[in-house]
Each structure stands twice: as C-alpha cells, then as structure tokens.
Chain A
Amino acid sequence: MCLGIPGRIVAITDEARQMAMADVSGVRREVSVACVVDGPLDALVGEWVLIHVGFAMSRINEDEAARTLDALRELGEAQEALDAMAEGAKSLEGMS
C-alpha cells in the first residue's frame, strides 16, 4: 500500500468531490486529486501524477525527472569511455 504508481489524469469526473479519471498503464481508475490541485481542476488533465491508494499524491515534476536522468546518462557515458580506456590499456599490455 505504500508503493505509488505513476498515472496520467485523463478527465475530471466530479468537480465538487475533486475526483478525476486516471490512466495507469492502460487501466482506468477514478482517483481523488484533492492533494494536487493548485488552480482550475481542468489544468490537471494530461498531467502525470503519482497515485497512492486512490489519491493522486504528487505531480511528477518533468524538469526534475529530466535533470536526474541527464545526470545518470552522463555517468553512463563517462563510464563507457572509462571502460573503453581500460580495455585499450589491457590490449596494449597484451601487445607488449
């Protein structure tokens, strides 16, 4: 119950109760968006949210996600370069 799952808000279903339809990997489920409203409800349609026990608990911040992924990718690429260097050094040793 503590694990959240990302979903996308596809429609507002009940303004008064702040309920919306979310698409979670192709499955539709009505969720409360009470915790993530900060303006007109309609503005949430299309947003990615993290859903816990029927509540959208946090909007996924796309800029932050991109920033984390960029850092990870850079690390991956740097590592590849280092691996290549190590490989190179090994074959040089083998040659000598």
Chain B
Amino acid sequence: MRYVEEFRDPKAARALIARIAEVADAIGATKDEPVRIMEICGGHTHAIFRYGLDKLVHEGIEFIHGPGCPVCVLPMARVDECVEIAERPGVIFTTFGDAMRVPGTKGSLMQAKARGADVRMVYSPLDALELARRNPDREVVFFGLGFETTTPSTALTLLQAAREQIPNFSIFCNHITVPPPLKALLDDPWMMLDGFVGPGHVSMVIGVHAYDFIAADYGKPIVVAGFEPLDLLQSVLMVLEQIRYGRAEVENQYARVVPEHGNPISLKAIDEVYEPRPSFEWRGLGEIDASGLRIRPAFAAWDAEEKFGIGYAAGPRHVAEPEGCACGQVMTGRIKPTACPRFGAGCSPETPLGALMVSSEGACAAYWQYGGARVAAE
C-alpha cells in the first residue's frame, strides 16, 4: 500500500535509532533521569507498543502515554447514558465498535445488547444515517465519539440528515477537543514533561497552530507526527534536537497529511454544527473547561440529548470511578499501567475495569497485549 511500507524501512529505522541515541547522550538523558516525551494520541501509543519503539530507542527516553484515546477518557456517566438511550423502546443505538465494551455502572453497550437492546456497530456515521432512512419507524441514534479527527464526519452526517429532513436520526454528541486537556496537563504541578509528539490526524483537521501555546507559553517542543514507525522515530528525534539546541517550536513531521492550517471544509462543518460546552467530564481528569462540544440549538431536532432529555440536557451529574482504578494517574503519566493495583488483578482486556484496558489504544491494553501480561505474571 502506498505510503505505508515506505515508512517501515528497517535501514532508515536503524539510522534514526542511532541518531536518537547520539542526541540523547549529548543532552545527558539517562535511565534514571530520562527525557519524558508524551505521545498525546492513543494511535501513537498503540504504534509505539506494536513496534516496540519504547524498547528500541535509547534508555534515556521515556514515553508518557497521554489522554488521547477518546474511548478511554469517556466517563462512566456518559456510558450509562448510552445504555439508557439504547434501552428505550424503538431505539436502534449505533456506535463505533471501539465503544462497545467500555464499562459503565450498568455494564457496557455490549452487555445492554445481550440484555436485548438493539445496539449495532457501524463503521461510519453515514451507515447509521442509512439505517435511519431504511427504518423510518425506529429512532436511530448515533454515538458521536472522538476528537477533532472524527468530529467532521458526524457534523457532515448531521448536516446531511438536516438537508434530507430525516426526523428519526439523532446524534449523542461526546466529541472532545485536544488542546484544552493539554493545557490542563501542562498546568498540573505534578507534570514533568520535556516535549510532545503531537496527534497527526487531529492536526490534519485543526492544523498545527492550535499547539502554538505549548511552545510559546510553556516552552515545550511539540512535533506533529504520523503513525508509521519511521514517523514516530523521526518525530522523537526532532523533539530531542529541539531540546538539544534550547528551542521550543511546533514542527510538522507529518506534512504529507497535515496542512499547516488544517482542513477548512472540516473546520467549517464543525463550527456550523457544534459549539463548546462550558465544561465536559473526562475519565481520570475530571471536568475540563470548554473541552467538549455540543450540538447547536439550531440542530436540536438531531440532538439525542435534547430528544431524550438526557445527559447535560438533564443537568450535570457525576458517577464515581470503580474502586482501586488508577486510570487517572496512568493517563496523566504519574504511574505506569503495571503499577496499578488492579492491573492483571481484576482488570484485563477480557474483563476490563477501567477504560484504559478496553480500547487497543489505551495504555493498559497496550501494555497487556505487548508484554505487560508477562510483567503482571512475574
């Protein structure tokens, strides 16, 4: 496949790893005093483990796995609301497969389905809209989930529903945005990060200037990266080079996909359909100001929160996270997944307790799948 294989070339990878080691030594990074680089995006976390990049690079580089998996940061209350909507008579509840197993206090969507709710996995919100066209006597709800990468797709789907005036389709909007939690992390006095690998696909929509504050206000380097091994290695090298020469800039390693100013059509669709919520709850991080999106009142007819009087439309509420779950600490980089008391002891991909174990983009599942299970067994 074009532009995939080329970015896995072992020769170039070896060269990058050697260069990374050289720069890491030059700036004095060691195992005990590592350079801490946060990869924000869950897709990057997954790729780092899949290719074992954390083991391949110099021991003075530590990857901190950021909050960039939208399934992982979804709070229990929202999962409960999904289940409540799905269990209403006449509803077909559609979702990306990733969200099926996220546990809420009433179980997951998968369990709701087993109990008889009509929950269906779809690949695209367009498939959900098609279901609504074909089932005019049912209420089809799409679970809108994800960062800026998927937000345009639900915005455009809603606009299509509005154009066709499809009355039995609505979106349960849980879209969140990347910059506010990064600011929250950087403001956290516990945070000890030296630089960031920026999310490639979010940036393809919002452009690179959304991160200017990271360099300008916090003095940290950030390199927007692609998802192949060479992309990630090159980005780590670029972060290290910035540190070496005392620079803090926003750089774009993924220019083949990420335009400097993002995608104007996507941005326009997002702005037309959504507006920021005053605040939104993140699993493990709590309420973060202006970090979530809601459907504008003009499109209330396609807003599941309004239609079913649920969620923030019904007033704020909070559900405590499960006992002993350290998802929040893992997500802020304070501890490694294996340090959670529940890792492998009540929490595994088969029976996930916290959301970081549910999605393959969650740090705990990645640890488990690529060697963590071994660690737990030892």
Contact = CB atoms under 8 A, between A and B. Distances in A.
A68 B226 CA distance: 11
Interface stretch (B147-155, B277-285, B333-341): B147-155
A4 B203 CA distance: 13
Interface in A45-77: 48, 50, 52-55, 57-58, 60-62, 64-65, 67-69, 71-73, 75-76
B19 A54 contact: no
A45 to B, nearest CB: 16
A2 B41 contact: yes
A67 B11 contact: no
A95 interface: no
Name A's interface SS: mixed
B4 interface: yes
A42 interface: no
Nearest to B46: A3
Interface in A6-39: 6, 8, 17, 25, 32, 34-37
A68 B257 CA distance: 11
Interface residues of B, number: 53
Given A2-B70, A35-B266, A54-B127, A68 B150 contact: no
B104 interface: no
Contacts of B9: 72-73, 76
Nearest to B99: A1
A10 B227 CA distance: 25
B3 interface: yes
**6 closest pairs, A vs B, by CB?**
A54-B124, A79-B15, A65-B256, A76-B12, A64-B256, A64-B255
